[in-house]
Every structure is written in C-alpha cells, then in structure tokens.
Amino acid sequence: MKLRMIAAIMLCKLLRFSARILHRGGTAMPGRYALKLCPNLLTLLAKDVETVAITGTNGKTTSARMVEQAFADAGLSYFSNRSGANLNSGIVTEFVMNCTLGGKMKKKYAVIECDEAAAKTVFGQLKPRVIVVTNLFRDQLDRFGEVTYTLQVIREGILKTPESVLCLNADCCLTASLAGDTPNEVVWYGMDKGALSEPGKADLSEAARCIRCGEEYEFDYINYGHLGGFRCPKCGYARHECDYAVTEIISQELSGTTAVFNARGEANTVNLALAGTYNVYNAAGAMAAVCTMGLGTDTAVKALESFKCGFGRMERFELGRSGATMMLFKNPAGCDQVLNFLKGVKESFVMVICLNDRAQDGKDVSWVWDADFESLASSDGRLTQVVVSGDRMNDMAMRLKYAGVPEDIILLESDYEKIVQWMERQEKHIFIMPTYTAMLELREVVVRRTGGKDFWEG
Amino acid sequence: MNFKICYMYPDVLSLYGDVGNVICLERRARWRGIDVSVTRMPIGSKESLSDFDFVFIGGGQDFEQQVLLEDLHSGRDREIISAVEDGVVFLTVCGGYQMLGEYYETFDGKRCGFIGALDLCTVGAKERMIGNIKFDCDSLGIGTVVGFENHSGRTQLGPGAEPLGRVLSGFGNNGEDGSEGAHYKNVFGTYSHGPVLPKNPAFADLILRTALERRYGSCELAPLDDTAELRAHKEMCDKL
C-alpha cells in the first residue's frame, strides 16, 4: 500500500511539474492520474491535516480566501487549493504538492474549497475539522439537476464525517436543513433582521416551500434571494438563532462595507474592503469558521479588514482612465447580487459582459432570463455602453435588448484582445461581468496587459 | 387592443428562465403599440382563467409538483380544460407541459393524476435528457425551433394530440419516436427551455397572432427588427 502511495505521489508531482514548465495550469490532471494509481490517496494524506472545507453554491472562493487570510495572519503553516481546482482531482493535487515523497504532510492546516458535487466523496476522505456551507441556490441545472439534489449530495458527504463541526448559513432554509439530518455539531451564522436598511431582491423560486413538509414559508424579512428569517407555519421548521450574526450594516460603498458582527455576544465593527451584501455573508461565514478553528475573534476581524478579493471576484484592474472591476457571475442569485450592487453605483459607467456555455459555466444559458438585467435598463442612463462577448454573446445581447437596454449602446465583440484595447480607451469605470470560463480567458488577456499574476500563482 | 397574459404558478414553476417567454411576448406586443397586462397566478389564487388571451405555464422542480397537484385538483383542472376547449392560447413548457397531460408515473411505478387537458402521458426515467434541441415546426409555418431541454420524463402522445414538431437534434418527447412537444387546438406544449420564444421570433409571433385573432377577429402584426433574435437563432441552428 505504501508503495502505491509513493508511486502515486511521484507521478502526481512529476505531472504537475511538467504542466507548469509547459505553462498549463495543471491543477486537476496530475491528481486524476494519481488517484488511478492509489484511490485512497487523499484519505492517507489528509489524516494529519486540520482542514476547513468550504462548499455551497455562491461565495466558496471568497470565503475560503478570507479564512486563509486569518491563517496567514496567525502564522499557521497551511496550504489551500487556490486556483479554483475544487473537484476531487484538484484537491488531491494540492495535497500532493504539499507532502514529501514519503507521503508526510509538510503543513499542518489546509483551507479547501470544495465543489458541491465533489463534497459527497471528498468530505469523507478529508474529515475536515470544520465544514462551511455558504448557501444553496439553483446553479448549473444541466449538471446538478435540481437544487434538492445538490443538498442531498452535500448531506451524504457530511454523513461520512460526523466529527466535523458544521458552520451553516442560518438564513438559507435549504442549507440549514442539513443540521436536522446529520449528527454533527453546528455553528450558525447569518444576518439578523434589520441589519439591512434596504433589502435586496427577494426571489423564492427554488425555496418557497418548506423543505421538510411542503408548506409555504412565512418570512420575517428577506436579505436577498431566499436568504432571511424563514419559518414554516405547519411543521415549525424555522431559522435558528445565530452564533455569529451581522446585526447592522452601517454603510455600503463601492470601496467597501462597514458592518457590525456579533461574535457569540460580542459586537465588533468591521470595515470590509469589499462591496456587496453577499460579501458580508461570506465574511460572517469566514468569521464563524476561523473562530471555530480556535483562532480569536480579533484575528478574524483583522483578517476580514485586510482582505482584498481577487481572481475575478470584485477584482480591480488598472485599465482605461478610471479602472475596471471584474465581477464573476455564475447563476441567477449571484448575478442579481452583482446587478444589485451596480444599482448603487452613482457615476456613469461602461460594461463588458461575457457569457459562455461550457461545462463549468453550465451548458444551459436560459438562467440569464431569471436575473434582473432590467435594472441595467432603468439605470437612468448611467450605463452608457456595453460590450457583449463570449460563446453565447448573441443570447446575451438579446437578453439585454428584451431587458430594455437600448440596442445602440450594445456592441458585439468576440475577440478579447480587441475588448481589452477598447477598455484601455475608456474614460469611465468599466464593470466586467464574465461567466467562469470567460473570466479565466479574459482575465488572462487583461493580466498580460496590466502585468498581474497568472492564475495558478493566485 | 389589449393582450391579456396569465402567468400561472410563477411561485413554483419558474426555474429555467422560462419567464423569458412572458417577457418576450410582452415586449413584442408593446413594440407594436398593443397594450399588455401580465397577471401572475400563484398557488391558491382564485382568479378566473376565462378572461385571458394567453396562459403560460413553465417548468419546476419535482419536489414542488406535489404541492401543485393539490391546487390543480381543487377545481383549477376543470377550468384549464374548459379554457383549452374554448381556444385560449397556451404555451406550456417542460413540467407545465407534462401537467396538462393525463398522468405522470415515476420510474418506480407511482402514478399521479394530472389534468387530462391533452391526450398524453409521461413516465419518469433515471437518466435525464439534457442538451440543446432543434426541431422542425414546418406544419405550423414557423420553420425550425431551437432551445434547451432538461427532463427525466418520457412523454408519449395519444391520438388526440399532434406533435409540435419533429426532432432534428436532441431528444424531444421521449428520445425515441422523433416527436417533440404537443399541439392541440391553441395549446403549444414543449420541452424546450432557452427560453424558447425570444430566440424563435416566428414562434412568438404565431402565439401573439393566434391570441389576438381569437379575440379581435383578424390581426396583422407589424414587422419588427429581429436582427438580434435571428442571430441567436441562427447561431444555435448552425451549431446543431
């Protein structure tokens, strides 16, 4: 067995090294071959590592990076799967890159972002000390089927690791249901009633009815989507009180958000360098995870305040006269959050929207009709021009037309080099909305011209 | 002229962007100077169906279909049948399409009775049929239709329903007999999301014209600039 493990580790390291000198990302492929050689490799490597695993539909990457920031600040010896390689094979590669040839881990801690579908197999192997589930929204229905199915595979994953402490988003009635079905200890986080002075767009389409009995929920308040104070009048299933709660959002600006986080009864005012209500949720989840790992609230607060997002999530670039912000969008809930954020932008702006339909984006692009692009049309002329690109740019342009965006401000351009040249000529701030694979490609072109980092360097 | 749209069960049947069909018809009517009203009818709504020109029902999750059955069988089913027989125009997609049939049988043999407005029935399977779809609707004079399907149910048409079209690429009703969707009186049932109408403007206008002709006798729809729509349509036609 030991020999198999060593052979798998050597193969994985070799493949990864080759991929790197050939300038391919090479995050998943080495792990895939290593697993063929030694199927329980991850179990063997992960047993001596204290892991925080993060899954859920939206906010995985940002939450993971926030936890990582706290680990770095605390001087812990840790590693993470930084480049979005969040399936089984990518996670294995990351573990192998952090172990010796003999299979001994060089780091004591890990922050692992885990795809929802992979949670089923990966959780049992990782045996994480803490599992964060951020939220569940419909996403890539062509891949996952229905959202209740996604919930089921996460549940199956958790059932294989009963010692893990769960940090659950109390405001998501789907996520919260994991608590009743698993023996694990639960730490709750969320956003209390009255925290938001102006709630975002409510959309209950995937969670209008009780996951337990089918009755229609009653809501005390909704922060956005279906996240809020839910209660089933029939079976009594209801939002749990939070251990880590956002009690007040003091200000929301383009440059950041100030909010009060109540950590087990102790109020902390935190200045996040991130915009968007969804990032306040990410911060609350990260705080719950960091504190559950035994680091102090002070460490969590300091990390949240110094954290700057990256890799396509509210990532800033020096482009054109006023700069650019890249905001990944993947599904209706995430897209609505980005569009809601744009409603708060006071100055006029231009946009680039790139819609792809590859496996990682979801092959079905129907969902763009569920997102509130109408809000761009009613932006009082603040949106002055929008370049539409990507494999499905024609569908995207049509969506904008039907949303009421004037056709004469919509430009179609498939060439990313030309788009970046266009961006360099802009006077106004540029908001870039790409789907996942479009983000990878467009970001690479942008990074090359602005001198940033490649993606596997994070 | 006033075009009255009823959007049925938006609270549970609005999963795959199907609301785009309502947005599309509303816009295409308004661009031609026709007044439009859209009435949302969630579960429990008591409003009558008889006064509408057009009824839309979309697709949803299996989980929520149970809840819907109670509402349907509390009298809504008879109302839908009489609206269908009365010539009200319907577009029903995926779950909404199956719902107008006789019944749905899960793959392990549990049967739930549906409305029976259309002569068709659906049997569930383990494997979902997922992907882009292209089908031919020449008999309706609207040429090729493109969209995206994602369903586990296999639908068989009885003699009382015509297929909406013939599959050129994809699965359609059951992946076997080449039929896609159903057409009966003024009901158009399909598995196609996409949403189906924006990218197939001829289909959208067929629905709009049929609905207006029923109420106002005759109706000439002014032509629109469909460059953007036809680009998206052609792109998918060429891809499949």
Find chain B residues with C-beta within 8 A of A368's C-beta: 17
The mean pLDDT of A47-59, rounded to a whole number, is: 94
pLDDT at A84: 63
pLDDT at A455: 45
Is A205 in Cβ contact with B11 (below 8 Å)? Answer: yes
Per residue in B45-95, pLDDT (tens digit) is: 888 888 899 999 998 876 666 778 888 988 899 999 999 999 999 999 999
Hey, which residues of B are catalytic here?
Answer: 94, 193
Per residue in A266-288, pLDDT (tens digit) is: 999 999 988 888 999 999 999 99
Residue of A nearest to B25 (CA): A402
How far CA B54 is from CA of A217, A432, B211, in Å, comes to: 30, 38, 6
Is B228 in Cβ contact with A394 (below 8 Å)? Answer: yes
**From the CA of B150, how many Å to the nearest CA of chain A?**
7
Report whether pLDDT(A457) > 60: no
Q: Could you tell me if A232 lies within 8 Å of chain B, comparing CB atoms?
A: no
- B117 SS3 class: coil
Nearest CB neighbour to A398, from listed B43, B61, B228: B228
Nearest CB neighbour to B232, from listed A146, A147, A398: A398
What pTM did the predictor assign?
0.83
Per residue in B170-190, pLDDT (tens digit) is: 999 999 999 999 999 999 999
Find chain B residues with C-beta within 8 A of A206's C-beta: 15, 61
Q: Could you tell me if B231 lies within 8 Å of chain A, comparing CB atoms?
A: yes
Find chain B residues with C-beta within 8 A of A407's C-beta: 228
Nearest CB neighbour to A141, from listed B14, B16, B43: B16
Task: Identify the DSSP state of B76.
Answer: I
Q: Could you tell me if A210 lies within 8 Å of chain B, comparing CB atoms?
A: no
Per residue in A415-453, pLDDT (tens digit) is: 999 999 999 999 999 999 999 999 999 999 999 888 765
> Which of A141, A152, A177, A411 to substitute to test the interface with B, most B CBs within 10 Å?
A141
Which residue, A57, A62, A124, A119, is CA-closest to A88? A119
Quickly state the pLDDT bin for A142 (edges 50, 70, 90): low
Nearest CB neighbour to B148, from listed A204, A366, A402: A366
**Please, what's the largest Cα pairwise distance for chain A?**
67
Q: Could you tell me if B237 lies within 8 Å of chain A, comparing CB atoms?
A: no
Q: Could you tell me if A413 lies within 8 Å of chain B, comparing CB atoms?
A: no
Q: Could you tell me if A216 lies within 8 Å of chain B, comparing CB atoms?
A: yes
Nearest CB neighbour to B228, from listed A141, A148, A397: A397
**From the CA of A398, how many Å to the nearest CA of chain B?**
6
**From the CA of B86, how many Å to the nearest CA of chain A?**
31
Q: Could you tell me if A226 lies within 8 Å of chain B, comparing CB atoms?
A: no
pLDDT at A86: 85
Is A395 in Cβ contact with B43 (below 8 Å)? Answer: no
Lowest-confidence pick of A309-318, A345-354, A409-418: A309-318
List Cβ neighbours of A26 (8 Å cut-off, separation of 6 or more).
Answer: A15, A16, A18, A19, A20, A93, A456
> Which of B18, B61, B71 to substitute to test the interface with A, most A CBs within 10 Å?
B61
**ipTM confidence:** 0.94
Handedness of CA B192, A437, A351, A326 (dihedral sign): positive
Count how many pairs of residues, chain A against chain B, have C-beta atoms within 8 Å. Answer: 93
Lowest-confidence pick of A172-186, A205-219, A381-395, B112-126: A205-219
Structure-block tokens of residue A110? 């890990």
How far does Cα B148 stand from its chain's mean position? Answer: 13
DSSP string, B160-195: T-B-SEEEEES-TTTSSS-EESEEETTEEEES-BTT
Length of chain A measured in residues: 458
Report whether pLDDT(A458) > 70: no
User: How do A130-133 and A186-191 pair as beta strands?
Assistant: unpaired
Find chain B residues with C-beta within 8 A of A141's C-beta: 15-16, 150
Per-residue pLDDT of chain B (240 residues; tens, 9 = 90+): 899 999 999 988 877 899 999 999 999 999 999 999 999 999 888 888 888 999 999 988 766 667 788 889 888 999 999 999 999 999 999 999 999 999 998 878 888 899 999 999 999 988 889 999 999 999 999 999 999 999 989 999 999 999 999 999 999 999 999 999 999 999 999 999 999 999 999 999 999 999 999 999 888 899 999 999 999 999 999 998
Average pLDDT of chain A is 91
pLDDT at B112: 86
| B61, A147 contact by CB (below 8 A) | yes
How far CA A225 is from CA of A12, A206, A229, B220, in Å, comes to: 41, 9, 12, 41
| B210, B138 contact by CB (below 8 A) | no
pLDDT at A143: 66
Is A363 in Cβ contact with B131 (below 8 Å)? Answer: yes
Residue of A nearest to B14 (CA): A205
Q: Could you tell me if B15 lies within 8 Å of chain A, comparing CB atoms?
A: yes
Find chain B residues with C-beta within 8 A of A392's C-beta: 235
How far CA A363 is from CA of A73, A120, A141, A372, in Å, comes to: 40, 23, 9, 20
| Cβ-count burial A347-356 (b if 16+ within 10 Å, e if not) | eebbbbbbbb
**From the CA of B48, how many Å to the nearest CA of chain A?**
22
Is B62 in Cβ contact with A363 (below 8 Å)? Answer: no
Per residue in A290-335, pLDDT (tens digit) is: 999 999 999 999 999 999 877 788 888 989 999 999 999 988 888 9
Per residue in A372-394, pLDDT (tens digit) is: 999 999 877 899 999 999 999 99
Report whether pLDDT(A204) > 80: no
The mean pLDDT of A80-95, rounded to a whole number, is: 85
Q: What is the Cα–Cα distance from A177 to A190, expressed in whole angstroms?
A: 14
Q: Could you tell me if A50 lies within 8 Å of chain B, comparing CB atoms?
A: no
Q: What is the Cα–Cα distance from B13 to B98, expressed in whole angstroms?
A: 12
Q: Could you tell me if B69 lies within 8 Å of chain A, comparing CB atoms?
A: no
Q: Could you tell me if B27 lies within 8 Å of chain A, comparing CB atoms?
A: yes
Which residue, B177, B167, B180, is CA-closest to B240? B167
Q: Could you tell me if B130 lies within 8 Å of chain A, comparing CB atoms?
A: yes
**From the CA of A350, how many Å to the nearest CA of chain B?**
21
Task: Identify the DSSP state of A46.
Answer: H
User: How do A109-113 and A78-80 pair as beta strands?
Assistant: parallel
Quickly state the pLDDT bin for A180 (edges 50, 70, 90): confident
Q: Could you tell me if B148 lies within 8 Å of chain A, comparing CB atoms?
A: yes
